[in-house]
Amino acid sequence: MRRAVGAICVAIWTLIASGSAQANLIFCNESGQTLNVSVAWSENSDWKSRGWFVMKPQECKAAIQGNLKSRYYWYYADSVDGSLVWNGNGTENSGVFCVINDKFFFRDANRTDCEYEVFKRIDTGESLAYAMSLSETRTTPREAALECSGEISKGRDAFAKCWMRNIATTKQRAILDCYDKTYSYASFALCASKGSIDSEALELASCTSKYLNRGDNGMFARCLAKNRLSEEQAELFDCAARNRGNYGAMAACAGGGFLDEDQERILSCVEQNASSYKNMGLCVAGTRLNSEQSRIVNCVASNSGSYTQMAVCAVGNQLTPEQQVMVSCAISTGGQPYAMAGCVGTQLTANELQKCIDKGIGGDGCFGRNNTAVKFISNAWKDVTKGPGPSNDLLGRDGFVGRNLRNAERDLRRGPGRNHDLFGEDGFVRRNAPPPIELGRVGGHRVCIPWC
């Protein structure tokens, strides 16, 4: 499915065109999902549309190559799974252009033998090159806290869990869902890395992670075989595994007499894979696993010390660095919401969340006027509109510039004093600059660069 509406935002920046080789209209995928992108433009009074440019997470592609010849372009994009869309619905200066589901390049974008989508306009400012980043919307920490205010009465973890879901992107929320619906870190890592992985693969990952290193071979094999091993067959497997290497004892596990086909196969699996519990279990599960399922089990078993490497082995590297943080924090904190919120959002955020519970949201509470980030933004706005206050670190009366400008006249007449931060005897320039160069004498005084 290629069509769906989701919450998105677009961050854009203009590239400095240093030459025609670098001049393009570029799209960068900053979301955690594979995207389809199409673009439209006017050329010689003809309207054109082109797509689809398929972009993996963290990938950039040039939709138009060479120097841009127009100020305005239009684009439409959506995610492969249909959860995100970037279009011109509800925006000014949008445009309706021709698309089809397959790859296309229409030199007359107003034709009738196609579908139509509402594209969003890009204003390049007549730059020769332009780049646009497509990323998922984030709710601000304060907005997320306000939306979860009703959870405060339920306790710290309930509030933290709600807050995390509200600040998360679409993919991050899917990762949180994975944690809630899986039973082992192995199956969680697989689910988080590729949300579309089937439930049977997740169950196999849990089986491998849970039973393999416990030496509980009967449960491991039974789990892999989706409980299609009978109790008698599972007991035979356990008995044979305990007595592997002793063929008489292994045969006795079957109760003597003639062995049926399944019993022979189980004993043969143990005999042929005596040094590997994993291979014993895979052999006993036998035809009940297809090649893809066997590969996933092997990935889990071979990378039990690293869930990241295990997931990469099984489904490829599907996570952006930001999403990897979410997975790592869930595993390292055991999924405890308050601890995970501190891990994902830094200790400052964890402290702010506690203030939400103690003092409420805003004012003297969390994300209010005493919040470090809020105070910084408020002071910055005041400095811009009214001029820096005396305590401004850079421009205030007691700041770096203020301290040094007070002595500017003296510094210009006699050179900076010895305590000057930049030019003083122990200042940055004196510590790092080469010795002064004497140019000569004027009126009996030495003339040097920078000064004598």
Cα–Cα dist 81/25, whole Å: 25
Residue 312, burial from CB neighbour count under 10 angstroms (0-12, 13-18, 19+): middle
- pLDDT of 233-270, one tens digit each? 777 877 887 777 677 777 787 776 677 777 777 788 77
Pair of tokens at residue 418: 């010895």
- pLDDT of 130-186, one tens digit each? 988 888 776 788 888 899 999 999 989 999 999 988 888 878 888 899 898 888 888
pLDDT at position 84: 85
In the chain the domains, ranked by start, together with CATH numbers, are 8-136 (2.60.40), 144-337 (no CATH), 403-449 (no CATH)
Contacts of 249 by beta carbon, 8 Å cutoff, 6+ apart: 243
Return per-residue pLDDT of the chain as tens, 452 residues: 454 434 444 444 444 333 434 568 999 988 878 899 999 998 888 888 999 999 988 889 999 988 888 899 999 999 887 878 899 888 888 999 989 999 999 887 667 778 889 999 999 988 888 988 888 776 788 888 899 999 999 989 999 999 988 888 878 888 899 898 888 888 888 888 876 677 778 888 888 887 766 655 667 777 777 656 677 777 787 788 777 767 777 778 777 667 777 777 778 877 777 777 667 777 776 656 777 777 888 888 888 778 888 888 888 777 777 788 888 889 888 889 888 888 887 666 788 888 888 888 888 888 887 665 555 444 444 444 445 555 554 455 555 445 554 554 455 455 555 555 555 565 555 555 556 666 566 556 666 655 56
pLDDT at position 294: 79
In SS3 terms, the chain reads as CCCCCCCEEEEEEECCCCCCCCCEEEEEECCCCCEEEEEEEEECCEEEEEEEEEECCCCEEEEEECCCCCCEEEEEEEECCCCCEECCCCCCCCEEEEECCCCEEECCCCCCCCEEEEEEEEECCCCCCEEEEEEECCCCHHHHHHHCHHHHHHCHHHHHHHHHHHHCCHHHHHHHHHHHHCCCHHHHHHHHHCCCCCHHHHHHHHHHHHHHHHCCHHHHHHHHCCCCCCHHHHHHHHHHHHCCCCHHHHHHCCCCCCCCHHHHHHHHHHHHCCCCHHHHHHHHHHHHCCHHHHHHHHHHHHCCCCHHHHHHHHHCCCCCHHHHHHHHHHHHCCCCHHHHHHHHHHHHHHHHHHHHHHHCECCCCECCCCCHHHHHHHHHHHHHHHCCCCCCCCCCCCCHHHHHHCCHHHHHHHCCCCCCCCCCCCCHHHHHCCCCEEEEEECCEEEEECCC
pLDDT at position 83: 78
> Residue 317 phi/psi, 5° resolution?
-85, 95
